[in-house]
Structure 1
């Protein structure tokens, strides 16, 4: 049996900034994958601020997370849409765009989809 593991998102092992200073992802690495805290600034949109980094037509991450603050709208490639707010659990499959609603940061903890999120593809 493995021992305890302590890692802190306040001392991330990696930070990935979004385009135009519209937020960042702080990440800690675990054997089972990454756990991250993303801060999405007002005006952030995946297709504007992460697409140039990911180089895919839509977000291909499978998200399982918890919204700590703010509001985010997510629209799937097939047109399905939902809005997530503070206190919501989110499960979002690959193939979507997303953006911050309003003038408050949206902060999300994700334990499924951030290992490769906003990772530069050259």
Structure 2
């Protein structure tokens, strides 16, 4: 029988921190869930991509916007504006930026295990 597991992001299994943001990861059995928290002015290509050497995020994401607003720009120029309550699926080849003056928080159900990875190494992990 599988025992219930209860975890909190405040005691995350892994945390990556970078300018204007952080990404926390918890492992629940075979499932990895992430929480992205970004301050106003955060842009993936500037604050994460510059650390990984990537212009565009190459990780697919499926998640839920908890608070704040975010704009995703795809390599082909399409944009997607996301707000609280939106469920999203974003393909590889995108940039992302906080919109407005409110912090942005989202939960990631796909892609959390590869967030900010250029060569399968996490950015500035802390435990």
**TM-score, normalised relative to structure 1:** 0.89
Tell me the C-alpha RMSD between the 2 structures: 1.6
- 1:15 corresponds in structure 2 to 15
- 1:80 corresponds in structure 2 to 78
Matched residues in 2 for 1:16 and 1:47: separation? Answer: 16
> Structure 1 residue runs of 4+, over 4 Å off?
none
Unpaired runs of at least 5, structure 1: none
Alignment check: 8 A CA contact 2:45 2:54 kept = no
Matching of residues 54-93 of structure 1 within 5 Å = 54-93=52-91
Matched residues in 1 for 2:52 and 2:62: separation? Answer: 19
1:52/1:30 CA distance change after superposition, 3 Å: farther
Alignment check: 8 A CA contact 1:33 1:115 kept = no
Whether 1:120 and 2:123 are equivalent positions in the alignment is: yes
Unpaired runs of at least 5, structure 2: 117-121
How many residues of Structure 1 are paired with residues of Structure 2 in the alignment? 119
Q: CA deviation digits over 1:33-75, x for unaligned, max 9? A: 5211110110000010000222222001111000000000001
Matched residues in 1 for 2:36 and 2:110: separation? Answer: 13
1:33/1:58 CA distance change after superposition, 3 Å: farther
The 3-state SS of whatever aligns with 2:11 is: coil
**TM-score, normalised relative to structure 2:** 0.85
1:63/1:28 CA distance change after superposition, 3 Å: same
The 3-state SS of whatever aligns with 1:104 is: coil
